[in-house]
Structure 1
Amino acid sequence: MTFFCLLFLLIFLSINVANSQWIIKNLPGFNGDLPFTLEIGYIGVGEQDEVQLFYYFIESEGSPKDDPLLLWLTGGPGCSAFSGLVYEVGPLKFNYLNSSGNRPTFELNPYSWTKVANMIFLDQPVGTGFSYATTSEAYNVTDTLAAAQIYVFLKKWFMVHTNFLTNTLYIAGDSYSGIVLPIVVQEISNGNEDGHYPPLNLKGYILGNPVTDLYNDLNSRVPFAYRKALIPRPLYESIKTSCKGKYVYPDPRNTKCVRDMKVFGECTKDLDIAQILEPNCEYEVHPKPKISSLIGFMDPHSSTYKPSKRWCRYDNYVLSYIWANDKTVQKALHIREGTIEEWVRCNISLSYTENVFNSVDYHRNLSNKPYLALIYSGDHDMLIPYVGTNEWIQSLNLIIEDGWRPWFVKGQVAGYTEIHRHDLYYLTFATVKATGHTAPEYKPEQCLAMIDRWLSHYPL
């Protein structure tokens, strides 16, 4: 392809994408003009742009031209970027006291990560949030295909936002993103080395409470429960012996292990495994077993959730359904009419095939690159316990640059941290005290301090 043909193609793509993005000055539920720059839009990926990925882009409240750019991938698979935006690290949060009936209202989040970074919140994979496809076949996605589409999305986004090409880029996300995100980072790294246009100024990646090695993630729940005093020592010792350290899908012929695991379940059944300090919610078993259900993912407005008589964190998520399904809201967001039947916070009916069950090798590959990595875990998360996360980090056999120590916010212990290194690759592991799945939802002030220090290359 000649230079002029390539230039024409880039201009054509830029115009095409530019016609599908809008600056939003105000939102239903927020009083007055937004005090930050919000852009929303669609970017098409696939041979015929048959997959239309929806995104929210929020400029940094600091210095947009100097601050890093974070692409945020919410987990699931199938949880909307809006969930990460309003419940975790974005500049808005629901005002529960002043929201009533079908009129949810927002207030500003003083601990938004947009205080220190520009952020793209992406509805991915297709079928998530407001993202949609123009053909039924295009809804069939795998882990590796989802990662490839995210990379294409980024390249097209930068073609329109060329003023951000020099900003340092980090790929960030949590939960199930622990599978897809390292693949995305590998795709970008390979693309840069192969001279793909545009070159992306990739600096590293950020993962919170990540699914990584599914079997060992789940297997670590038993030692985690013992460390947190959820089960007595005699039971723990009996389980270790009878199950021989393998607690997931025990052999039904091993009656002692099966019996011990049943007792384990009785000890923990009244806890919310996403945050062991909170009560469990009532669930029904979903008929379609997937990784998301295996790790304990449930959500209101799905067939798996029954409202509880006592407060449950999942009750907070109801406001997002009311707000995002309001036709006035969808008009304000320029949602294309007829592209989705109903917005759901987490879509468990995706036509999605999990084809990567362990992403540790991607981390191992990336540890040979000059990247920075931040892996953090809520230390009261039994969904994806920090115990398993710490184990796979140790398996990378990196040099310990800074040993295990507490980190502080306002003079109080906010968690513990350790820095690992291999040549120019640095991996920071951090726990966040008394937080669940995922950490910023429970301790936003501490998590903002963590990301601010880390992005500034300052020790936690």
Structure 2
Amino acid sequence: MTSNSLLRLKILSILYLLFLSIKSVDSQWIVNRLPGFDGDLPFTLETGYIGVGENDEVQLFYYFIESERSPKDDPLLLWLTGGPGCSGLCGLVFEIGPLQFNYINSSGNKPTFELNPYSWTKVANIIFLDQPAGTGFSYATSPEAYNVSDTLAAAKIYTFLKKWFIVHTNFLTNPLYISGDSYSGIAVPLVVELISNGNEVGHYPPLNLQGYTLGNPYTYLVNDSNSKVPFAYRKALLPRPFYESIKRNCKGQYVYNPDPSNPKCVHDAMVFQAWTKDIYLAQILEPKCEHKLHPKPNITTFNRRSLIRFRDSHPSTSKPSKRWCRYDNYGTKEEWLRCNRSLSYTYDIESTVEYHRNLSKKAYLALIYSGDHDMYVPYVGTNEWIESLNLTIQDEWRPWFVQGQVAGYTKMYKQERYYLTFATVKGGGHTAPEYKPEQCLAMIDRWLSHYPL
């Protein structure tokens, strides 16, 4: 199947989802059928807009899918895709939603969907949100309203949730978890804190916040980027003498702003860059393919926009690759913009570690999981900042299992009524549920049920 055919498949599916809805109420639509899927959808899918900001000048688009088990009893997850600027559709069809594209049986202009047997909607209700304005189908009614930052985006997400619950009061008592992966490691802790503070001062409606989940989360600029070196060593990408040399010469500042006045460190940083530049960072075991519009990174800086989802990469048209590449399935930006790189976005939060520290003083549950073959945000750095919270160890490092096989490793921490579970997903990449769907469904099911992994 060609790349253009895949593009048409996704575009047609999205358009039909929006405009062939059968039942409409205000700015929400219930979607019963989709082209490429035989019969009625075996789950409840609602799409719609919620206005936020002054005069509702920002219109945030969402996909809401009810739990396939017990919508009135199961938890409700708000899913925030990374980026910033990546559509919630990414999480829906490529990670944890009930539909996925059937590429083998699709051809030309005829898209085909199939059910995802490992959808998280098996155990939870999920809202997939396009945010901020300019992402997916979300838009603003004025140019000024497109200007956004980490903190402004979080505030708008909180407003969205309050207004969504006013329309969906029947879900107010469901346990609420704020969730996401990648760059959502910035937004999620901010939103959780806003909800927590809002509940304490009596904001309406009160939200039944129970905790949050994060996958391979961007958390701390310096820590995340520099952890690539010890990660690469642990994965046998670097020889021990070189690893000892770069540790000695750079003193931890390997990737993020190595000291330009230190020639030994600059040399080692250049060697590290040369040895790893051909690695597919999202999952180091998969092939890296040629793509355009991505200049080589500067070894002396770390660009936060590099965390815009790898799915927005653009396959080369000059040297088409014969090997399979994961992002061949994701298309190019000419027809469907998966991740908007042109957002007027201000990065005003460098680290969310202190947000996690503050939340650890409250009665919440946290699940932090890492695909252990992701080199964008390596598990090494994530584990490091978790350890820096100085929580009490509740359950020591141990394997967890799915179908009798090791699915990863986990460790649990606590502080009074706060519980944090850290889990690795063996063989997982930057978006772990995409790579290891069965294992990740088992993980979230157990965690939401308050069972050990």
TM-score greater than 0.5 by the shorter chain: yes
- Judged with a 3 Å threshold, the aligned counterparts in structure 2 of structure 1 residues 298 and 412 are, in CA distance, closer, same or farther, namely closer
After TM superposition, the runs of 4+ consecutive aligned structure 1 residues lying more than 6 A away are: 287-290, 303-306
The answer on 1:282 being equivalent to 2:290 is yes
1:293 positional shift: 3.3
The match for 1:265 among 254, 273, 284 is 273
- Alpha-carbon separation, structure 1, partners of 2:316 and 2:172: 43
Q: Is the 8 A contact 2:395 2:411 kept in 1?
A: yes
- Out of 425, 428, 435, the residue aligned to residue 432 of structure 1 is 425
Whether 2:309 is the aligned partner of 1:316: answer no
Aligned to 1:231: 238
Q: Please state how far the C-alpha of 1:28 moved relative to its aligned partner.
A: 2.2
Instruction: Note closer, same or farther for the CA distance 1:348–1:296 as it changes in structure 2 (3 Å cut).
Output: closer
Give the match for residue 12 of structure 2.
none
Determine the structure 1 residue equivalent to 2:388. Answer: 395
Tell whether the 8 Å contact from 2:314 to 2:331 is kept in structure 1 after alignment: no
**2:206 aligned to which of 180, 192, 199:** 199
Which of 439, 450, 453 aligns to 1:457? It is 450
Match of 1:252 among 260, 268, 271: 260
Please tell me whether residue 345 in structure 1 is matched to residue 345 in structure 2. Answer: no
Aligned match of 1:107: 114
RMSD of aligned Cα (Å): 2.1
In structure 1, distance between residues paired with 2:152 and 2:201: 19
Give 1:258's aligned amino acid.
V
Contact 1:286 1:293 in 2 (8 A): no
Distance 1:175 1:410 in 2: 28
For 2:263 and 2:292, locate their aligned partners in 1 and report how far apart those are by CA, in whole Å.
Answer: 26
Structure 1 residue 47: Cα displacement: 1.0
Where in structure 2 are there 5+ consecutive unaligned residues?
A: 1-23
- Measured against aligned partners, the alpha-carbon deviations of 1:147-169 in whole angstroms (never above 9, x if no partner) come to 00001100111011100001010
Find the partner of 2:398 among 405, 412, 431.
Answer: 405
Q: Secondary structure at the match of 1:36?
A: coil
- SS of the residue corresponding to residue 366 of structure 2 reads strand
Letter in 2 for 1:318: G
Q: Is the 8 A contact 2:85 2:308 kept in 1?
A: no
Q: Which residue, 123, 147, 150 being the options, matches 2:130?
A: 123
For residues 147-197 of structure 1, give each alpha carbon's deviation from its aligned partner in whole angstroms, at most 9, with x where no partner exists: 000011001110111000010100010000000110000000001001011
Residues 1:362 and 2:355 are matched in the alignment: yes
User: In terms of mean alpha carbon deviation, does 425-434 or 294-303 score higher?
Assistant: 294-303
- Please name the residue that 1:208 is paired with: 215
Amino acid at match of 1:454: W
The farther-off stretch of 32-41 and 283-292 is: 283-292
Give 2:277's aligned amino acid. Answer: K
Letter in 2 for 1:316: N
Q: Is residue 148 of structure 1 aligned with residue 160 of structure 2?
A: no
Q: Is the contact made by 1:25 and 1:37 (CA closer than 8 Å) also made in structure 2?
A: yes
> Is 1:65 aligned to residue 77 of structure 2?
no
Match of 2:305 among 267, 277, 293: 293
Partners of 1:225 and 1:284 in 2: how far apart?
25
Is residue 83–residue 307 contact of structure 2 (8 Å, CA) maintained in 1? no
Which digits, 9 at most, give the CA deviation of each residue in 1:49-89, with x for residues without a partner? Answer: 00000000000000000000000000000110000000000
Superposition deviation, residue 295 in structure 1:
4.1
Q: Which secondary structure state, in structure 2, belongs to the residue aligned with residue 224 of structure 1?
A: helix
Distance, in Å, in 2 between the alignment partners of 1:114 and 1:280 is 32
Deviation at 1:264, TM superposition (A): 1.6
Task: Work out the CA distance in 2 between the residues paired with 1:217 and 1:130.
Answer: 30
TM-score, length-scaled by structure 1: 0.88
The answer to whether the Cα contact below 8 Å between 1:299 and 1:305 also exists between their aligned partners in 2 is no
Q: Is the 8 Å Cα contact of residues 151 and 188 (structure 1) preserved in structure 2?
A: yes
Structure 1 residue 302: deviation in Å? 5.6
Alignment CA distance shift 1:82-1:380 (3 Å):
same
* 2:107 match: secondary structure: coil
Structure 1 residues 211, 301: closer, same or farther in 2, change over 3 A? closer
What is the correspondence of 1:68-83 to structure 2 with a 5 Å cutoff?
Answer: 68-83=75-90
- Partner secondary structure for residue 41 of structure 1: strand
* Equivalent in the alignment of 2:9: none
Q: 1:304 to 1:137 in 2, by over 3 A?
A: farther
8 Å Cα contact 1:417/1:428 also seen in 2:
yes
Matched, 1:446 2:439: yes
Asked whether 1:30 is paired with 2:42, we answer no
Answer yes or no: is 1:137 the counterpart of 2:144.
yes
1:232/1:295 CA distance change after superposition, 3 Å: farther
Report the equivalent of 1:190. Answer: 197
Cα contact 2:292–2:314 (8 A) shared by 1: no
Partner SS, residue 331 of structure 2: helix
Whichever residue aligns with residue 402 of structure 1, its letter is: D
- Residue by residue over 1:76-107, the C-alpha shift from the partner in whole angstroms, topping out at 9 and shown as x without a partner, is 00110000000000000111101223333211
Partner of 1:242: 249
Counterpart of 1:257, as a letter, is C
Say which SS state the counterpart of residue 271 (structure 1) adopts: coil
TM-superposed deviation, 1:227: 0.6
